[in-house]
Chains A and B, each alone.
Chain A
Amino acid sequence: MSGRVIVITSGKGGVGKTTASANIGVALANTGASVALVDMDIGLRNLDILMGLENRVVYNLVDVVEERCKLRQALVKDKRIPNLSLLPAAQTRDKTAVNSDQMKKLCAELKELFEFVIVDSPAGIESGFQNAIAGAEEAIVITTPEMSAVRDADRIIGLLEARKDEIQQYRLVVNRIRPQMVKNSDMMSVEDVLEILSVKLLGVVPEDEEIITSTNRGEPVSGTDNVRSGMAFRNIARRVRGEDVPFMDLDVQNNGWMSRIVKFFSPATRV
């Protein structure tokens, strides 16, 4: 098997990289594909928490790289989805514990075992980020419609562009969009962000309190029906698999005759 290695990155911290990694991983696995989630945020391990697997971590990525265990021993199987595994980060080491060549080797090994290898990158543009993208052929850039997040995303896109030979494609996910605020012209829309960054869109995820609840339960929302953010992540996973999924209507639900007129004239917000 030769799977696809996709790195999830953003530059800025706190925009939802780890949440997106967990949800895209779960959604891809639920389509039947075998998926490995790799936590590259060495020293600040979090992906295990979002997956509800923190009590099952025995070995980690650094143990594999330093040959204290076999790759298969370090992989933690998901509780619900048998074709989904997590390779946790080390919590007591730092970004210097792994180098780019080791990461390339690890990704090469992982893509022999899995159809999708999803790498959760740390924030920043330093060695941690450079290592996270070392073994990847594709990237998903996460941003929110805030100026600082968009600026950092632009920097990341610049760095990905400079490595065109390795990173063959990158697409953008706009996270935490608030349709009502966009409608009131209080924040940038998805279209605004796309126009500024000149990049292909992979998906739009609405701000959703369910994300907090699901993190507390250790069950990513994309595994739950009837949750808007979960649906958005499932759509993203289907687009990653090459399906042409229309962007879903994200407009504020309001069906009075006035709002219908306004809606008729204003561009719709879609995910």
Chain B
Amino acid sequence: MQVLNWFFRVNNDSARSQAKDRMRNMLVHDRLELPAGRLEMLEEELIAVVSRYFDLDSETTNFDLQQYERKAALIANFRLLRSKC
């Protein structure tokens, strides 16, 4: 697989892919006028709310801001273990 990656120049450490990743992240924040740290605050609150209803597998909980056209989407993934009620 590594050989194939090398052959087809799939290189995730390349300056090109780093630029692309940084760009995506930066523009999602720019477009939403989202200050640094604000998203992390929201994540903590969301986890707190969901935790009132469910036991969570905190290892696999994750949040992702994705770009759709020129709009952003917040993808939240909670792995639920059991209901608390």
Which residues of A approach B to under 8 Å, CB–CB? 147, 150-151, 154-155, 157-158, 161, 182-183, 185-189, 192, 196-198, 262, 265-266
**CA of A203 to CA of B22, assembled, Å:** 24
Please give me the residue from chain A that is nearest to B68 by CB atom: A198
B22 proximity list for chain A (CB < 8 A):
147
Whether the pair A266, B23 counts as a contact (CB closer than 8 A) is no
A198 proximity list for chain B (CB < 8 A):
67, 69-70
Give me 27 A-to-B residue pairs in the complex whose CB atoms sit less than 8 angstroms apart, sorted by A's number: A147-B22, A147-B23, A150-B23, A151-B30, A154-B30, A154-B31, A185-B9, A185-B17, A186-B14, A186-B16, A187-B15, A187-B19, A188-B16, A188-B19, A188-B20, A189-B16, A192-B19, A196-B20, A196-B23, A196-B24, A196-B27, A196-B67, A197-B70, A198-B67, A198-B70, A262-B9, A266-B9
Whether the pair B23, A151 counts as a contact (CB closer than 8 A) is yes
B70: min CB distance to chain A, Å: 5
Which residues of B approach A to under 8 Å, CB–CB? 8-9, 11, 14-17, 19-20, 22-24, 26-27, 30-31, 67, 69-70
**CA of A150 to CA of B20, assembled, Å:** 10
Number of A-B contacts (CB under 8 A): 51
A151 proximity list for chain B (CB < 8 A):
23, 26-27, 30
**CA of A185 to CA of B8, assembled, Å:** 11
Whether the pair B16, A192 counts as a contact (CB closer than 8 A) is yes
**CA of A80 to CA of B20, assembled, Å:** 43
**CA of A187 to CA of B16, assembled, Å:** 4
- Lowest 5 A-B CB distances belong to which pairs? A185-B14, A185-B16, A198-B69, A198-B70, A186-B15
**CA of A123 to CA of B67, assembled, Å:** 27
**Contact partner, B31, options A158, A185, A262, Cβ 8 Å:** A158
**Contact partner, B16, options A154, A182, A197, Cβ 8 Å:** A182
Please indicate which of the listed interface residues A155, A161, A198, A262 has the most CB atoms of chain B within 10 Å of its own CB.
Answer: A198
B16 proximity list for chain A (CB < 8 A):
182, 185-189, 192
Please give me the residue from chain B that is nearest to A199 by CB atom: B70
**CA of A186 to CA of B16, assembled, Å:** 5
**CA of A198 to CA of B26, assembled, Å:** 15
A45: min CB distance to chain B, Å: 32
B70 proximity list for chain A (CB < 8 A):
157, 161, 197-198
A194: min CB distance to chain B, Å: 11
B23 proximity list for chain A (CB < 8 A):
147, 150-151, 188, 196
With contacts A154-B30, A188-B19, A196-B67 known, what are 13 further pairs, Cβ within 8 A? A147-B26, A182-B16, A183-B9, A185-B11, A187-B15, A188-B16, A188-B20, A188-B23, A198-B67, A262-B9, A265-B8, A266-B8, A266-B9
B8 proximity list for chain A (CB < 8 A):
265-266
Whether the pair A154, B20 counts as a contact (CB closer than 8 A) is no
Please give me the residue from chain A that is nearest to B15 by CB atom: A186
**CA of A265 to CA of B11, assembled, Å:** 15
A189 proximity list for chain B (CB < 8 A):
16
**CA of A196 to CA of B30, assembled, Å:** 13
B50: min CB distance to chain A, Å: 31
**CA of A150 to CA of B30, assembled, Å:** 12
B19 proximity list for chain A (CB < 8 A):
147, 187-188, 192
B36: min CB distance to chain A, Å: 16
